[in-house]
Amino acid sequence: MKKILTALALTTALVMPGTVMARNVTLTGILKNYGGDGAYLAVYITNANGSYVGTLWLAGGKSKYYNSLSHWYRATGGATSGVTAASVGSGRSFQITFDIADALIDSGYQIRIDASVENFRDAPSDIIIPLTSESFGTANSGRRYIRSVFLQ
Amino acid sequence: MIRALHKYTGLLASILLLVLALSGVALSVIPAWDKLQTPALSESGLSVGELAARIATHYPGVEQIKRAPSGKITAYFYADNEPGAVVVDPATGQGVSDYSFSPVVRWIKDLHRSLLLGDGGRLTMAAAAAALFLLSASGVSLIARRMGGWRKALAPARGPFASRMHVDAGRLSIPGLILTSLTALYMALGSFELLPQDTPQPVFPAAVSGETGLPTSEMLALGEVPVSQLRSLTFPYVGDATDVFTLSTNSGKGYIDQGTGEMLAWDSAGIWQKIYEFIYLLHTGEGAWLWGLVLGLLVLGTAVLATTGIFMWWLARRARPALPKGVAANKADTIILVGSEGGSTWGFAGTLMEGLMACGHRVHTAPMSRFTPEKYSNARQIIVLAATYGDGKPPASAKGFIDKVNALQQAPAARLAVLGFGDRQFPAYCAFAEQVVALAKEKGWQSLLPMDTVNCQSPQDFSRWGYDLGQALGHDLELSHLAMQQHTHRLKLVSRRDFGLELQTPTAILRFALPRTGLLARLGGRGWKRFGAGDLLGVIPETSNVARLYSLASGTRDGFVEICVRKHSHGLCSGQLFNLAVGDEISAFIRPNPSFAPAKNRKPVILIGAGTGIGPLAGFVRANHRQRPMRLYFGIRHPAADFLYGQEIGQWQREGKLENARIAASRLQQAAYVQDILRLDATHVAEQVKNGAQILVCGGRDMAAGVLQALHEILAPHGLEPARLKAQGRYLEDVY
C-alpha cells in the first residue's frame, strides 16, 4: 500500500485545509496479464473540460519514457511532483490513497490513467473514471492494460 | 601490461561476452526477417493522410498507426471494445496479418540488454560492453606486436591453431566489435539518462477548433507528409472534441486539429535525438537489414574469440607446472631468470630447477623483470631462459631487464648462461636472447657457457643444453622435460627399408601400424590423434624419458605411421629405432605441427629437401590426391645408396601427384647439392614463386642455409625476397 501524503502540489488545489470537508480516497487498480515488461502509469485528474488539473501518482523509473504517457505528458511536459514509484508488472495491482475535497465530487472532474509498456502500444486514458458519488464502491474497467480500478 | 589487461579482462568477461554475442547475433537477423515480412510500399508519393483514410475504412476504431524503420506499418484499433493490432498493406489499408510483439524476441532483447535483471543487469552488460571495447583496443595492439609492427599487422598468422584462430577472428571482427561496443555504451548512457535529451515536445495548443469529423485524406498537414517519413500517427480520443491528432515523423512531432486538419503545434527533432537515432541504427541495424546481418556476422567473431581465448589460456596454464620450492635470492648459489610470454618457458625453468636441486644447488627462480643483482650475494651463476616475442621484442615477464642491466655500474660477479627459446619460422628467432648476450658482453659480464637455443620447445635441444651446462658446472645434469603430459601409445613396426649402408650412413624408412584406441580413450582426449605429413612423432626411447621428435612421412589417411631415420653414431633413440625388427614396438605420441604443411589452396608447391628431410615432403606428395602442381628438389649422396623413396617418386609422377623431381647427388663424380639444382632451374622457380607458389624446405641446418642463399640469388632479380615470403607464410622450414 502506497500512502500518499499531502506533499502533492495537487492537494493545495483540491483540498482547502480547515475550510472544506475532504474525503480520504483509496484507489486500487489491477493490471491485465498483457505479458510484457512493467507498465508505466500516470494517475491524474482532469476538470469538466477535460483539462489537466493535477497528478496523483506516477509509476515508472525512467523519465525518458514519460512521453509515452502521452495525454498526461503533453499537459505536464513530464514534470513530476516527486510522487513516483517503480513500474507495475503485468497482472500486478497497485494502490494509492489521497485526500480529495468534497466539492470536486459530482462536479465533472475525472480521474484518468495513462499507461504504456515498452514495445507495446501506448494507452493514453486507458481508463477514465468520473468523480461522482456512484463511482465509489464500484469497479471500473480499463481499455488496454488496466483490468479494473476500484475507488473507495 | 597490455597483454595482462587483455587476458584478465577477457577471462573475467568471457561468459558475459558469449551471452552478449550470441543474443546479439540472434537479434541481428530480425531486421532482415522484418523486411521479408513487410508488404512493400509501391506508391512512392503516398501521403500519411491517404494511408490513414485507407486504414480507417477497414478499421473504423483505429487509434494509432506506426511505421517501423523496416517499413512495416502497424495499425492499432478497437473493435467491439477489444484491442487489436494488424500489419497493414499500405496499398489497400487492409491488414495482412495480426501483429503481436514476439515474446521470444522480447526475451532475447532483455537478455541482451540486462540479463533479464533490470537496472543491475543493464549496468553489468554496459560493463561487458566496456570490456569488449578494452579487449578490442588491446587486441589491436597485441596483434601488431605479435606480427612485428603495424605494417605487418595483416600478414598471415603463425603459431598453434587456437592462437591463429584467435588472431584471424580478431582481425576480421575487431572493427565491428569496436563499433558495436562504443554504440552500446552510448545507448547505455542514454538508458541511465546521462545524455542530453531534446526529444521533440510541441506545446499543446491552448485552443482547438472544437469541430470533428474531417477525413484524414483531406487534412492538409497529413497530405504533405509522405509515408516514408512517418513514425506514428495517433488518432484523437473518440468523442473528445478537445483532443487532436498527434503526428511523429523523422523530422519532429506535432499536433493536428481534427476539425480543420491544420498543424496546431510543431517541434523539430533536435541534434541529440538525431545522433541517438543514428547510433541506435548502427547498433541494431533496425531499418538497415543488410548492415544488421553484417554486424551479426562480425559479432559472431566474439564467440570464436572468447572460446579460443579461454582455450589459449588453458593451454598456457597447463604447460606451466607448479615450480619446485626454491630459496630466497640472497641464499641461492644459482639464480634462474625467466623471460616468458605465454608461460611455457616457466615449465622449462621448473625442470631446470629440479635438475639443479637434485645436484645439490640452492636455486632461486624469478621473472627477468625482477632482476635484482644487489640481492644475489651468494650467487655463483645466473641462468637466463629468454623467449622472444614477435619481432625480437622482450617477452612480458622480461620488461625492464635490459634497462636494469644497462644501468649497472659493474657486471654481477656470478657468471651468466643464456638459453633462448623460439620458433625458427619467425625471422627474429631468439633475437631477444641474443640481445641479452650482446649486452652482457658489452658490460663485461663473465660467461658460464655460450648461448644456446631451444626450437619449438624441443626437449632434445633442452636436454643437450643441460648436458653442456652440467659440464660447465662440473657435474652430470640430465634435464628430461615433458612439455605436456603426453599419452603415449605402442606402435608396432610393420616394415622397414634400409638405405645408405654402403656409405656408412645407415638410413631407414620405418613403417608402423596405426595403433588401435577405444572410443572412450578418444573421447577422453587420450586417443591417437589424427595426423598428417609434416606433423611430428614423439618417440620415447627406453632408458630415458626425453622424447625425440621425428617428422612424419604419412597421414592418418595412408593408414600407417611412417618416419625416416638416420642412425647417429651416439644417438640413443636413433640407435634403438634402427635396431627394431618387424614386429617390435615403440612408445610414441603425435605432436601436431601445423606450421609445416602446404597451404590449403591450389597454388603450386616447391618441395626442397635432403637426406631424411625427404620424409614429410614425400608425405605431402603422397597425399596430393587433388594433383596440385608439386615439384621436388631432393639432395642425396649416391643414387645407388640413399635414394629414399626412389621407386615411389617415379610412380607419383605417373599418377600426376608430382609434376617433376630433380635429384642432386653429392658423391657422384659431378657432385651436386640441392642448391645447385635449384640454381639450374632458376627461371622456372622464380616464375612459380611469382605465380604464388609456396616453398617448403626440410632437412639439416646447413642445407637450409644453402637453399636460402640460393633462393635469395634466384629471386632477387625478380624483386622477390625469401624473408618476405617467410613473413607471408609462403616459405616454411622444418630444420634440424
Domains and CATH numbers, chain B: 2-31+105-197+285-315 (no CATH), 40-90+200-269 (no CATH), 320-473 (3.40.50.360), 489-591 (2.40.30.10), 605-735 (3.40.50.80)
Q: Which pLDDT score is estimated for A16?
A: 46
Q: Which residues contact B474 (CB under 8 A, 6 or more apart)?
A: none
Pair A44, A112: CB distance under 8 Å? yes
Q: What is the ipTM of this complex?
A: 0.75
Closest CA to B716 of B693, B692, B685, B676: B685
Position B642 pLDDT exceeds 60: yes
Q: Which pLDDT score is estimated for B203?
A: 85
Q: Which pLDDT score is estimated for B376?
A: 92
- To the nearest whole percent, how much of chain B has pLDDT over 90? 46
Q: Which pLDDT score is estimated for B88?
A: 93
| A81: contact with B, CB 8 A cutoff | no
- Averaged over B70-84, what is the pLDDT? 86
The H or E element that residue B373 is part of is: none
pLDDT of A32-75, one tens digit each?
988 788 899 999 999 888 788 989 999 988 888 888 898 898 88
- Averaged over B307-318, what is the pLDDT? 80
Interface with chain B: mutation pick from A46, A47, A65, A74, highest number of B CBs within 10 Å: A74
Position A4 pLDDT exceeds 50: no
- Per CB-CB distance under 8 Å, the chain A contacts of B66 are 121
Rounded to whole angstroms, the maximal C-alpha distance in chain A is 47
Q: Coil, strand or helix: which one is B714?
A: helix
Strands (E) located in B174-291 = 230-234, 244-249, 252-257, 263-268
- Averaged over B492-512, what is the pLDDT? 88
> Residue B271 — pLDDT band, cuts 50, 70, 90?
very high
> Residue B429 — pLDDT band, cuts 50, 70, 90?
confident
Least confident of B54-68, B182-196, B302-316: B302-316
pLDDT of B148-181, one tens digit each?
677 777 777 766 677 788 999 999 999 999 999 9
Q: Which pLDDT score is estimated for A6?
A: 36
Position A10 pLDDT exceeds 60: no
- Measured CA to CA, the distance from residue B181 to residue B136 in angstroms comes to 9
| A97: contact with B, CB 8 A cutoff | no
| A62: contact with B, CB 8 A cutoff | yes
Q: Which pLDDT score is estimated for B485?
A: 52
Least confident of A128-142, B213-227, B533-547, B593-607: B533-547
- Averaged over B80-86, what is the pLDDT? 83
Q: Which pLDDT score is estimated for B319?
A: 57
Pair B511, B494: CB distance under 8 Å? yes
| A108: contact with B, CB 8 A cutoff | no
pLDDT of B342-385, one tens digit each?
667 888 898 899 899 999 999 999 889 888 888 899 999 999 99
Q: Which pLDDT score is estimated for B159?
A: 61
Pair B140, B119: CB distance under 8 Å? no
Q: Which residue has the higher pLDDT, B20 or B488?
A: B20
As to burial, measured by CB atoms within 10 angstroms (0-12 exposed, 13-18 middle, 19+ buried), residue B530 is: exposed
Given an 8 Å threshold on Cβ–Cβ distance, is B242 in contact with A49? yes
Residue B5 CB coordination number (10 Å)? 14
- Cell 621425428, residue located: B550
Q: Coil, strand or helix: which one is B467?
A: helix
- Measured CA to CA, the distance from residue B289 to residue B714 in angstroms comes to 52
- Per CB-CB distance under 8 Å, the chain B contacts of A50 are 240, 242-243
> Residue B480 — pLDDT band, cuts 50, 70, 90?
confident
> Residue B619 — pLDDT band, cuts 50, 70, 90?
very high
Q: Which residue has the higher pLDDT, B12 or B527?
A: B12
- Per CB-CB distance under 8 Å, the chain A contacts of B243 are 50
Given an 8 Å threshold on Cβ–Cβ distance, is B237 in contact with A77? no
Strongest mean pLDDT among B69-83, B423-437, B642-656: B642-656
| A49: contact with B, CB 8 A cutoff | yes
Position A82 pLDDT exceeds 70: no
Distance from CA of A130 to the nearest CA of B (A): 15
Given an 8 Å threshold on Cβ–Cβ distance, is B106 in contact with A121? no
- Cell 468523442, residue located: B239
The C-alpha cell at B677 is 639444382
* First vs last C-alpha separation in chain B: 35
If you average pLDDT over every residue of chain B, what do you get? 87
Position A5 pLDDT exceeds 50: no
CA nearest to A127 within chain B:
B237
CA angle B267, B270, B275 (to 5 degrees): 145
Given an 8 Å threshold on Cβ–Cβ distance, is A36 in contact with B106? yes
Report the half-sphere exposure of B576 (CA within 13 A, side-chain side): 14
Q: Which pLDDT score is estimated for B541?
A: 83
Distance from CA of A72 to the nearest CA of B (A): 11
Overall residue count recorded for chain B in this entry = 736
- Per CB-CB distance under 8 Å, the chain B contacts of A145 are none
CA nearest to A38 within chain B:
B118
Pair B357, B363: CB distance under 8 Å? yes
Given an 8 Å threshold on Cβ–Cβ distance, is A121 in contact with B237? no
- Cell 657457457, residue located: B449
Q: Which pLDDT score is estimated for A1?
A: 38
In this structure, the dihedral spanned by the alpha carbons of residues B74, B78, B79 and B85, taken in order and rounded to 10 degrees, is 20
> Residue B726 — pLDDT band, cuts 50, 70, 90?
confident
Q: Which pLDDT score is estimated for B321?
A: 59
- Measured CA to CA, the distance from residue B623 to residue B610 in angstroms comes to 20
- Measured CA to CA, the distance from residue B687 to residue B693 in angstroms comes to 9
Residue B281 has phi, psi (to 5 degrees) of -65, -45
- Domains of chain A with bracketed CATH: 2-151 (2.60.40)
- Cell 517503480, residue located: A86
